[in-house]
């Protein structure tokens, strides 16, 4: 599964993901066991999280801890 690629340093990760969403929205972005998210689903969830963080007062230069199940 050779998936290594150069990371274009002039772009932020979220910009690259959003470009991929436009190019292939239904392609798998994340796969773990029997779970799978398309690029469109990943983008929608990321946007939901961003809105919740903003509503909670999170802005630039504010650290946010993340805790998830393995």
Per-residue pLDDT at 1 exceeds 80: no
Asked whether 17 and 41 are in contact (CB, 8 A), the reply is: no
Per-residue pLDDT at 35 exceeds 90: yes
The structure's pTM equals: 0.76
| Residue 9 located in a structural domain | no
| Residue 7 located in a structural domain | no
Per-residue pLDDT at 45 exceeds 80: yes
Element (H, E) at 35: strand 35-38
Number of domains in the chain: 1
**Picking from 4-8, 17-21, 39-43, which range would have the lowest pLDDT averaged per residue?**
4-8
| Residue 36 located in a structural domain | yes
Name the token pair of 67: 């805790």
């Amino acid at each position: 599964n050779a998936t290594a690629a150069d990371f274009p340093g002039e772009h932020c990760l979220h910009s690259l993901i959003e470009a991929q969403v436009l190019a292939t929205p239904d392609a798998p972005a994340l796969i773990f066991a029997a779970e799978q998210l398309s690029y469109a689903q990943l983008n929608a969830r990321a946007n939901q999280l961003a809105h919740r963080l903003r509503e909670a007062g999170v802005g630039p230069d504010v650290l946010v801890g993340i805790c998830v199940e393995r």
